[in-house]
Structure 1
Amino acid sequence: MAALKHRLQNEVFTPGEEVLRAFVRVNKRGGKRKKTDFLCIAATKMEPIQVSLYQVRKSEKGTFKKKTSWTIKQLKAVDGKDSGEESKDFDLILEKTFKWVANNVYEKTAFIGQLWKICNKFVPAQNVDFRNLNNSLKKLLLNANANEADQQQDAILQVEGVETAEDYQELTTAEEADLQAMMSKFDYSITNAELFTEKLSEELIALDGANIQTIMNAEQGVIDLVEYINDSVKELDGVEDKLSYYSELLKTVEKHMHQMSSINDHMIVEMKNYNKLIAEVEAIVERFDLPEEYLTTLAEASVDDEYALPKCTEAALAAQIALKSDSKPELIRLNAVSEQFQNISMHCTKFKKRLKERLISMFEKQGSTFEFISVGSSGEIVLPKHAIRHSKLLPYAQLVLWLKEMDSVMFEDLCNAYTRCISKRYEKELHDYFEKIKKVFQKSNSDSKVFGKQFINDTLAFVVSVIPLITLILFLPLMIDVFNTATKSLKNVDIRSGIHNSETSGFDKEVIAKFGKVFGILLEGLGSYVGHEQDFITEFFHLPVAIILLHDLSHDYVLTAFSLQQQINEDTIDSSGSVAESRRRLKEIFPSLDSDMANLIKAGDKVDPSISLHMFVRVSAQIKSHYGYAQGVASFYSKLIANWLVTVKRLFDGCVTSLTRSFDDYKISKKSKCGILPFVIKFEEFAEEAETIFKGSDRRGDLDKAYSRLFIAICAGISRVALEHPKTPKDVINFENFHRLFSSIARLKITSLENERKEAKENYQFYLNAYITSMLGRPMENLNTFIDGLENLLASGVKAEEVGFQLAYNKQELRKIIKEYPAKEVRKGLDSLYKKVEKHLCEEENLLQVVWHSMQEHFLRQYNNIQDLVKRCYPGSNITLEFSIDDVLIYFSNIAQSH
């Protein structure tokens, strides 16, 4: 074993600077392979010391090699498998269980013992579990002293005739030096081995004799030592007797101490129970023992007196604490507590009835009270303010909350009574207000049955200058009535086609702009007015405050009208009924607000579809101002404004659709030349108005989409009319209208239509060139035909100097053709051309001089081309046309001026 350990140390662990502490020969239990492995425990030489477990295998060549390694910290338990009888089996529990069979029981015992010592020394905190060990190992593990444990281990192994894992010890330096000195005295050859053995025997005998002599000389000392030991034993016996006596005395004292400790524990528990009982009784008394003053107040105090309200509130809250606080059922069953509970409940019931009757009486009085609206000398109409009514009810807010928590059914009845009574007052005030407004405007018009342009102007001006902001909500039905009546009386507005004549329309842009301003003020007033009422009912009835925050408002705060409405509905669901409760109450108070505004929007659109642009921008602006934050008013008003946004968005889309349909349905006039098409002019007017309305609006994207739709419809309409018109050439219709279209876009600086502007300009230039080519054609036809022949000859490879030798293209033929086109005939032809162009073009667009100038440039290009070819093919012939470039310029200029 020592030699094997020495070999393992040198071959396996010395290269890694480790020291082998213990090993055991093993086989895997249950495995088919019977080859022996070695489980080794090794520690590093350098600080800090690291201990590891290794599985070492011997190869076929006889060398040892590490196969698997674990740190000692990975070891969780060791199972010795010796619970019944000794066994060679044992398990090491690491990340999984490894089952081994040792070579013999003694090696297994020695290995586990060393493993235990190493675990206690290097990982004591890990507390490795050693279980199912034999008796000898159990005794070893129970000994706390490490040195004693080593001695016991050595003794066990010596008794059993087993070599320990630490049998082998290397010679010290001194021992090695003595051995070398002794052996140097002899010859190392094999022939002196017998002499060397004899010498060693002689020295051993001498040493034994010396040891015996030393023992004999120390005999007296041994005798004295034995006597000292006997005396010590006697003294120890005496001390042991005294300790036994004292122990008997202490047993009696211990018994008395246990009795005293038990009594003390009982006293502590009794005191705790007593204190808890006192605290519970005091809490019950404090809770249910209401002052007689409180009970008297609940039973007799008048809730009509506002000075008595603080006392009533204080008494009611105290009673609420007594009745609503959490109590154990056992306490309520006590006779005294039960009687007091019923007494307080009876007083609270009486107080709740009186409070409900008082508040309903106030609601009915406020609902039936109606102050007739009067018109002052300045024409100002003043509505009763509800702030005074609110101030009379607010002192009862704390008691209403008390009622809500004490009796939900009675609280619901109270809320219903409020909405029922107050809605009647609003209805009366609204009706009287409308009547007064109608009378004021009827006086300002001689014919009250006909509402014309002046009446609408007066109405709008009155709304802007006279009506207070908070009362604008009441003006909705009046505006609807006015616009519906005006729509019937104004016959010059072609709503069906969507094309309006600005000179004959019943409403000019100024009036429509005023309406847009009034509509914006109306929307702002609605939010404020609804907010004031909801603030009151939220505070008075203690309704939950709704929080609605719309997403991505910083980028596109409405996205689309339909997505906004859908998001508000989703937020309503997510708010656990708080929004629905607040919205339901306000809807009962203002039942017709949503429909009145929708009717107003539709009535305005019937008067003039362009009003929908104003309404679309105004409603969108209100979305932005009301949804950057959203609490209170958002719960009800957000739903309304989302509905209105859907309505105006549909009207806006309808306006655009109506325009595009009018472009498609335009009927061609066959009696006169075409000129600028009406729908091109309408688009220009629409764009001018829309740019003013949408300036600074975040709804610019919707307008840009509308522009794109209209541009496509206009292009299609221009092309259709150009093909169908019987009198005006199609190129004229195209370039005149495309010129007007791209000029309008450029003038208005509509950046979203930049590509469309370029497209319109390209179409204008294309059709202008086509018209010039078709009208100017090939002046001096025979001459141009001759020139074409020259160009064909040059293209076929004939040299310019040889062209004159061709029979058909000699100088005589050229001179003959030139004589056909004297200056007088050329001027006459140009004059006739100008008259035709003037007849085709319209005066509105003023493109005659542009076209004439382009024709001049086209004619000059032909002239220069003829002159160049003549010079190249007939050099030195001095053949030229009978008129010069200056003559041509004079002809074009004189013709333009003469007309």
Structure 2
Amino acid sequence: MTAIKHALQRDIFTPNDERLLSIVNVCKAGKKKRNCFLCATVTTERPVQVNVVKVKKSDKGDFYKRQTAWALRDLAVVDAKDAVKENPEFDLHFDKVYKWVASSTAEKNTFISCIWKLNQRYLRKKIYFINVSSHLLEESVPSGENQSVAGGDEEAVDEYQELNAREEQDIEIMMEGCECAISNAEAFAEKLSRELQVLDGANIQSIMASEKQVNILMKLLDEALKEVDQIELKLSSYEEMLQSVKEQMDQISESNHLIHLSNTNNVKLLSEIEFLVNHMDLAKGHIKALQEGDLSSSRGIEACTNAADALLQCMNVALRPGHDMLHAVKQQQQRFSDLREQFARRLASHLNNVFVQQGHDQSSTLAQHSIELTLHNHHPFHRDLLRYAKLMEWLKNTDYEKYEGLTRNYMDYLSRLYEREIKDFFEVAKIKMTGATKEGKKFATLPRKESAVKQEAESLHGSSGKLTGSTSSLNKLSVQSSGNRRSQSSSLLDMGNMSASDLDVADRTKFDKIFEQVLSELEPLCLAEQDFISKFFKLQQHQSIPLGVHSPGVSENEHRGKDMIRQMMIKIFRCVEPELNNLIALGDKIDSFNSLYMLVKMSHHVWTAQNVDPASFLSTTLGNVLVTVKRNFDKCISNQIKQMEDVKISKKSKVGILPFVAEFEEFAALAESIFKNAERRGDLDKAYIKLIRSVFINVEKVANESQKTPRDVVMMENFHHIFATLSRLKISCLEAEKKEAKQKYTDHLQSYVIYSLGQPLEKLNVSIFLNVILMQSIGEDSSDSQEEEEREYIPSLHGREAGVPLDNIFEKLFAFFFWQVVWHSMQDEFIRQYKHFEGLIARCYPGSGITMEFTIQDILDYFSSIAQSH
């Protein structure tokens, strides 16, 4: 290490007029094998500068280079990591923290001790040494390193001195004259010793040979001694004179020191006074604004805001140690406190008056909104109050008690104001809803669900026709004749060209618009008030946090602010949820189908509110109301199912399209129009499944109980109606039920046709049957007499045997709602039997020319003529 120290002194520090005092071999913490040296140096020129220099080997490794230098006065902290255990690590805190690991603990301790002594000797600013052993700070630096530090002269010569050029040249000449100078150092040294002895002897002989010169020299020395004595006497006198001068100079130096100290103290005192004046002096204009400023004008509010901010800065100034003990500072702080209390009281009183005044202004305009389905716009009120937002923030930071008082007063007053407005608003909505209902009801005297039903029925065999209308009641099943249905339907259509069903649709559409308008008016009102509360009361504000500093309290403050906003909104709009529930109950009472509209509208508004803020007052309130709407919707479905189950048939009446089948069609058509692209489609699909299953069960129940109308007729008419409804509406979740309805309709249609038509060619069927048995017993041939006998059994289509039964069958069918499709199916069945008997005749009487007296075209014409005659 000594060789490295000499090399560094020679190559780096001597050219820069610096002396190397201590050195330590280090590497950066966490980065091994990249060693460098930290050097403590002082300059040889005054004033002395003390530095810590980082020296590193060059990339080629053949010389050292100066990399970084820090002034010791910039060093703030020396951290030795551990004052007890040996630890090579230490930190130096300059502009940033540098972490080092020394090659040995001894080197680290020596270096830290040197830094401590340099600090004690040269610096006024004291460096903080932490985790350093106390005895280490009292040790002296090793010899050679502390000659200038421990109190010696800064210009003292180091133990190492360089050879000058002549000395180097002489040594080189001497070494060239001796061959063993390099290869054998001991021989070379022994040779030099012998030559030195020879030279010493020669010198002694030369001196002894020059005795005369010696005597002369001794005489000269005596004279020199005398002169020295005289000089010493003069020096003694001079010393006495200098001693007097020294005392005078010491006095002057002490006086200068006191003057310098006084000047320093005066400068510091002036700095402290300037600090207090600059930071704790409130301008007269600000004081006047706080005491007398106009809080009703924009200019006065701005002046008061600036004055309040200036006052807050003065009160929050970070005083230096000892300032709080000054009487003037205490007086100024008390004055600031009085100003703050006075202005806070004046501000709170003014804002309370503003709340009351604004409320009176709004109450005067409330009457004009009482007949309109609109809510009063509070934007002007909010706009005027937001001018005081910065003052509210100031009040929150300086006098939280008054801030809380203003908050409570605002909630109390606004809750009463909003309660009046919202109740009046909902009263108008209820009047419009009930008025719309009464307006519709005066055109129709039938119950809500009584309506003219129009349906197109398509035959599965390819024919189709328009079916007549039917009217059904909720409470009683009464199947009427076609004439009665026509007259009743026409009477409804004559009432202003509008059916009862059309009146229901008009009422529901108007209710839907009113309900949507109610929600559309409430939503911006609540959002605007919530936004105003957040801005005016500064509930979501928090202090800025320096970059890179983690503070878990920020999110907590935000949550606390949101909670307070929600609590204020609940207090202010406490009547919203009850009024909405009352309106929903009224709508459900007017028409249970209104729950469909309300479910869709409320779901959409809840979804919109949750996208903005899931935890907001609006989102929570609408979510609670949505639960009530969903319960009403479920109750509506349950009531529909119960009505199906409670249907009773009259023993004397015929059964047509059942009322709950028509009602399901009405419900499905209405629901599909309402739930188009709705968020709550899944709720409707579940309701569909429950309703359709109940429809299926109760259709079969009524069909089984019917006495006047055949079971197959009830089943095929109603299931065909259900199938047509599902095919028209294309409800994806009811595809399986649509197929089931089609199958039931087809099966019961076929069963009824076969039952009703029977065997119109019964006699021919018996004859051919007997002939077939006979042919099977005696062979295929038959006599002519038998053929003639058979001809007697071939009926005529226009004869009484075939015509009268068909007329009777049609008379029965014509009374049914579904007669066209059934009549067409019977025609097809008759043709099928005709073709069957033609095949039997051709087989039993081949070549005989026996045929039916009528053709398929005659059958078609005959069926058509019967239908047209009725």
> Does the alignment reach a TM-score above 0.5?
yes
In structure 2, the partner of 1:657 is: 638
* Identical-pair percentage: 36
Residue 542 (structure 1) aligns with = 538
1:398 equivalent in structure 2: 390
Alpha-carbon distance in 2 for matches of 1:237, 1:890? 166
* Contact 1:373-1:382 at 8 Å conserved across structures: no
Partner of 2:869: 898
750, 753, 776: which one pairs with 1:769?
750
- Aligned-pair distance for 1:413? 0.6
* Residue 871 of structure 1: aligned partner: 842
Per the alignment, residue 750 of structure 1 pairs with 731
1:585 aligned partner: 568
Contact 2:324 2:330 in 1 (8 A): yes
- 1:106-125 to 2 correspondences below 5 Å: none
Counterpart of 2:830 in structure 1: which amino acid?
F
CA contact (8 A) 1:731 1:770 kept: yes
Distance in 2 (CA, whole Å) between partners of 1:720 and 1:533 is 58
Among candidates 636, 639, 642, match of residue 620 of structure 2 = 639
618 and 273 in structure 1: CA distance in 2 versus 1, 3 angstrom threshold: farther
Q: Does 1:854 align with 2:844?
A: no
Retained in 2: the 8 A contact 1:530–1:637?
yes
Counterpart in 1 of 2:35? none
Cα deviations by residue, 1:333-376 (Å, 9 ceiling, x for unpaired): 56554443333222212221121122122223333456545988
Between the aligned partners of 2:851 and 2:375, the Cα distance in structure 1 is: 95
What secondary structure sits across from 1:583 in the alignment?
A: helix
Q: Which amino acid aligns with 2:599?
A: F
Matching residue of 1:20: none
Q: Secondary structure at the match of 1:576?
A: helix
Q: Where does residue 29 of structure 2 map in the other structure? A: none
Q: Retained in 1: the 8 A contact 2:588–2:594?
A: yes
Residue 5 of structure 2 is matched in structure 1 by none
Deviation at 1:402, TM superposition (A): 0.6
1:677 to partner: Cα distance: 1.1
Pair 774,237 (structure 1): closer, same or farther in 2 beyond 3 Å: farther
Counterpart position of 2:345: 353
Contact 1:768-1:851 within 8 A present in 2 as well: yes
Query: In 1, are the aligned partners of 2:291 and 2:342 still within 8 Å (CA)?
Result: yes
Task: Report SS of the residue matched to 1:308.
Answer: helix
Q: Is 1:621 matched up with 2:581?
A: no
Look up the match of 1:70. none
Q: In structure 2, do the counterparts of structure 1 residues 513 and 342 end up closer, same or farther at CA, with 3 Å as the change threshold?
A: same
What amino acid sits opposite 1:730 in the alignment? R
Q: Distance in 1 between matches of 2:439 and 2:311?
A: 64
| More deviation, 858-867/516-525 | 858-867
Cα deviation code 1:687-735 (max 9, x no counterpart): 2222332334333333333222222121112111110011100001111
- Aligned residue for 1:773, secondary structure, equals helix
Q: 1:781 to 1:330 in 2, by over 3 A?
A: farther
Instruction: Answer whether contact 1:473 1:526 (CA < 8 A) is retained.
Output: no
Number of matched residues? 574
Aligned partners of 2:796 and 2:802 also within 8 Å = no
Q: Following TM superposition, by how much is the alpha carbon of 1:778 offset from its aligned partner in structure 2, in angstroms?
A: 3.3
For 1:812 and 1:277, locate their aligned partners in 2 and report how far apart those are by CA, in whole Å: 156
In the TM superposition, what whole-angstrom CA distance separates every residue of 1:363-396 from its partner, at most 9, and x where no partner exists? 2333345654598899979987533333332222
Deviation per CA, 1:812-853: give whole Å up to 9, x if none. Answer: 77865663453268653454244235424545x4x3232222
Deviation at 1:660, TM superposition (A): 1.9
Cα gap change, 1:724 to 1:300, in 2 (>3 Å): same
The residue number in structure 2 matching 1:683 is 664
* Residue of structure 1 aligned with 2:741, choices 754, 760, 785: 760
What residue is the counterpart of 2:515 in the other structure?
Answer: 519
Query: Structure 1: how far apart are the matches of 2:693 and 2:607?
Result: 32
Describe how 1:172-571 pairs up with structure 2 within 5 A.
230-233=190-193, 286-301=278-293, 303-304=295-296, 306-324=298-316, 332=324, 336-369=328-361, 371-373=363-365, 385-427=377-419, 434=424, 475-476=428-429, 478-479=431-432, 493=447, 503=499, 507-544=503-540
Which residue among 661, 679, 683 is the counterpart of 1:702?
683
Flag the 1:668–1:320 CA change in 2: closer, same or farther, 3 A.
same
Paired with 1:365 and 1:298, the residues of 2 have a C-alpha distance of 23
- State how far apart, in whole Å, the 2-side matches of 1:709 and 1:886 are: 48
Give the 3 Å change call, closer, same or farther, for CA 228–662 of structure 1 in structure 2.
closer
Q: How far does residue 747 in structure 1 lie from its aligned partner after superposition?
A: 2.6
Code of the residue aligned with 1:620 in structure 2: it is S
What is the SS of the residue equivalent to 2:337?
Answer: helix
> Once the two structures are superposed, what CA deviation does each residue of 1:561-606 show, in whole Å capped at 9, x if it has no partner?
xxxxxxxxxxx99972433322322233333122112211111111
Distance 2:561 2:858 in 1: 90
* CA deviation after TM superposition for structure 1 residue 522, in Å: 2.2
Once residues 518 and 573 of structure 1 are traced to their aligned partners in structure 2, the CA distance between those partners, rounded to angstroms, is 41
Q: Taking structure 1 as the reference length, what is the TM-score of the superposition?
A: 0.55
Q: Aligned equivalents of 2:637 and 2:812: distance in 1?
A: 35
Whole-Å separation in 2 of the counterparts to 1:669 and 1:276: 113
SS at match of 2:660: helix
Task: Please tell me the residue identity of whatever aligns with 1:705.
Answer: K
Matched with 1:461 is none
Of 581, 593, 596, which residue of structure 1 is paired with 2:579?
Answer: 596
The DSSP-based 3-state class of the residue aligned with 1:768 is helix
Which whole-Å deviations, capped at 9, do the CAs of 1:742-795 have from their partners, x for residues lacking one?
11222334344333222222211111001111122334446545666888x8xx
Inter-partner Cα distance in structure 1 for 2:435 and 2:404: 40
Say which of 763, 779, 801 aligns to 1:828: 801
CA contact (8 A) 1:366 1:389 kept: yes
Q: Quote the residue 2:594 is aligned against.
A: 611
- Cα offset for 1:533? 2.4
Give SS of 1:416's match.
Answer: helix
Q: Distance in 2 between matches of 1:292 and 1:700?
A: 69
- Contact in 1 for aligned 2:323/2:329 (Cα 8 Å): yes
What one-letter code is carried by the residue in structure 2 that aligns with 1:610? F
CA offsets, 1:426-448, max 9 Å, x none? 455667xx5xxxxxxxxxxxxxx
SS across alignment from 1:872: helix
Tell whether the 8 Å contact from 1:487 to 1:607 is kept in structure 2 after alignment.
Answer: no
d(CA) in 1 for partners of 2:856, 2:556: 84
Greater mean alpha carbon deviation, residues 703-712 or residues 618-627: 618-627
Deviations 1:240-259 (A, max 9, x none): xxxxxxxxxxxxxxxxxxxx
CA contact (8 A) 2:429 2:514 kept: no
In structure 1, give the amino acid aligned to 2:662. I
Give the whole-Å Cα distance in 2 for the aligned partners of 1:301 and 1:693: 59
Q: Cα–Cα, structure 1 residues 810 and 531, in superposed 2: closer, same or farther, change >3 Å?
A: farther
Q: Does the 8 A contact of 1:419 with 1:588 survive in 2?
A: yes
Counting only pairs closer than 5 Å after superposition, residues 82-121 of structure 1 correspond to structure 2 as none
Secondary structure of the residue that 2:648 maps to in structure 1?
A: coil
Note the alpha carbon deviations across 1:673-695, whole angstroms, 9 max, x for none: 11111111112222222233233
Say if 1:616 and 1:645, in contact at 8 Å, map to a contact too.
yes
Q: For residue 741 of structure 1, what is the aligned residue in structure 2?
A: 722
Partner of 1:732: 713
Farther-moved stretch of structure 1 (342-351 vs 377-386): 377-386
Partner amino acid, structure 1, of 2:821: V
Aligned AA (1:629): V
TM-score of the superposition, structure 2-length normalised?
A: 0.57
